[in-house]
């Protein structure tokens, strides 16, 4: 099968592993940098080119679209979908998953556990907003933060107010959550492919921190997720329309709570911690859906992206 990996950099671990896995399973595979794909859109047909040569005939594409290129990357992916390539994560689903507030709203509405979350715009409402959340400690998070940057634990109401005022002053978007103390600085990354959790790892914060991000010195080890955790992760990915997702959960007294659903989850940490050939699983999943492009239902979701 002719496969494409949509990725900015063929040297990245995840990209390399997907290429390796595709070759090992007998596919022809090419890494396409989305920013080098360009296209002609017309009612009489589409044309996409890559570094001067036409692109066509990819049975399936595995998107690895970083947050900084979401818009252009999704436009390229949408075009490939319109040209009948299968993708486990549609452009519409990736764009939706990138909007954290929206994900919280949609997942909560469907009964998925989440830390109680508040957000508001006007400084006059801060007092009432925090009253709606409940007593501190609180976790104040920048919407655009990653790798634990911009995630603050505030033990007192005055500290929550201070953090919020500072972020408002910087015109930053943020949310405020209840602090799940019983998670004890650990979270659980469930790697979902199709309707299964294929690998799971527990990340533990270094001493003195509550953030378990590996970039902040957290440590990872393989764990068996519980049935409830696996169900939550698979359902969350499904609700957002993602066939491949990294679902981050924390363990709370009231069961698993979703922190984030990542549409381009990295492979290095999870493969190293668990020894699972996650790349191979993704390729096998994609190949099983990309087999007959003519007969396949077009999965392009153009209703809202």
Ligand X SMILES: Nc1ncnc2c1ncn2[C@@H]1O[C@H](COP(=O)(O)OP(=O)(O)OP(=O)(O)O)[C@@H](O)[C@H]1O
Find residue 55's DSSP bridge partners.
Answer: 48
Residue 229 touches ligand X, criterion: CB under 6 A: no
Bridge partners (DSSP) of residue 6 are 32, 63
> 142 vs 222, which CB is nearer to ligand X?
142
Is 212 known as a binding-site position? Answer: yes
Instruction: Give me the 69-108 binding string for ligand X, x by CB under 6 A, dash otherwise.
Output: ----------------------------------------
Q: Answer yes or no whether residue 260 interacts with ligand X by CB under 6 A.
A: yes
Report the nearest approach of ligand X to the CB of residue 289 (Å).
27
Cβ neighbourhood burial of 47 (10 Å; 0-12, 13-18, 19+) = middle
Of these, 179, 220, 276, 296, which contacts ligand X (CB under 6 A)?
Answer: 179
Among the residue ranges 106-114, 121-129, 146-154, 282-290, the one whose residues contact ligand X (CB under 6 A): 146-154
Strands 174-178 and 138-142, by their bridges, are antiparallel
Contact 88, 31 (CB under 8 A): no
Question: Segment near ligand X (CB under 6 A), from 51-59, 71-79, 143-151, 163-171?
Answer: 143-151
Q: Is 179 assigned to a binding site? A: yes
C-alpha angle 260/169/129, rounded to 5°? Answer: 60
**Whose Cβ is closer to ligand X: residue 61's or residue 261's?**
261
User: Which x/- pattern, by CB under 6 A, does the window 266-285 give for ligand X?
Assistant: --------------------
Q: Closest approach of Cβ 213 to ligand X, in Å?
A: 5
Provide, rounded to whole angstroms, the least separation between the CB of residue 145 and ligand X: 4
Work out whether 146 is an interface residue with ligand X (CB under 6 A): yes
Spacing of C-alpha 187 from chain mean position:
15
18, 24 in Cβ contact below 8 A? no
Which position among 120, 145, 162, 266 is part of the footprint of ligand X (CB under 6 A)? Answer: 145
Q: Which is nearer to ligand X, 50 or 179 (CB)?
A: 179
Q: Which of 5, 91, 151, 234 binds ligand X (CB under 6 A)?
A: 151
Strands 255-262 and 60-63: unpaired
How far is the C-alpha of 93 from the C-alpha of 116, rounded, in Å?
A: 24
Binding site for ligand X (CB under 6 A): 115, 139, 141, 145-149, 151, 177, 179-180, 183, 187, 205, 210-213, 248, 250, 259-260
Which residues make up each annotated binding site? 141, 178-179, 187, 211-213, 248, 260, 262
């Amino acid at each position: 099968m002719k496969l494409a990996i949509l990725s900015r950099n063929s040297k990245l671990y995840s990209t390399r592993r997907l290429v390796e896995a595709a070759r090992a399973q007998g596919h022809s595979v090419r890494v396409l940098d989305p920013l080098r794909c360009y296209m002609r859109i017309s009612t009489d047909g589409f044309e996409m080119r890559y570094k001067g040569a036409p692109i066509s005939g990819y049975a399936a594409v595995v998107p690895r679209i970083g947050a900084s290129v979401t818009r252009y990357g999704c436009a390229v992916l949408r075009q490939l979908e319109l040209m009948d390539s299968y993708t486990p994560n549609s452009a519409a689903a990736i764009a939706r998953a990138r909007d954290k507030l929206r994900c919280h709203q949609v997942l909560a509405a469907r009964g998925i556990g989440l830390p109680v979350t508040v957000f508001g715009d006007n400084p006059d409402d801060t007092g009432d907003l925090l009253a709606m959340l409940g007593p501190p400690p609180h976790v104040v998070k920048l919407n655009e933060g990653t790798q634990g940057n911009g995630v603050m634990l505030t033990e007192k109401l005055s500290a929550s107010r201070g953090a919020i005022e500072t972020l408002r002053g910087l015109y930053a978007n943020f949310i405020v959550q209840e602090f799940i103390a019983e998670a004890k600085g650990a979270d659980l990354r469930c790697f979902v492919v199709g309707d299964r959790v294929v690998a799971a790892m527990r990340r533990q914060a270094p001493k003195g921190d509550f953030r378990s991000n590996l970039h902040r010195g957290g440590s990872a080890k393989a764990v068996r997720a519980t049935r409830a955790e696996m169900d939550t992760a698979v359902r969350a990915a499904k609700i957002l329309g993602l066939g491949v997702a990294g679902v981050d959960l924390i363990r709370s007294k009231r069961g698993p709570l979703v922190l984030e659903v990542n549409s381009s989850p990295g492979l290095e940490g999870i493969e190293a911690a668990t020894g699972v050939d996650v790349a191979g699983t993704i390729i096998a999943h994609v190949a099983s859906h990309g087999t007959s492009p003519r007969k396949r239902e077009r999965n392009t979701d153009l209703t809202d992206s």
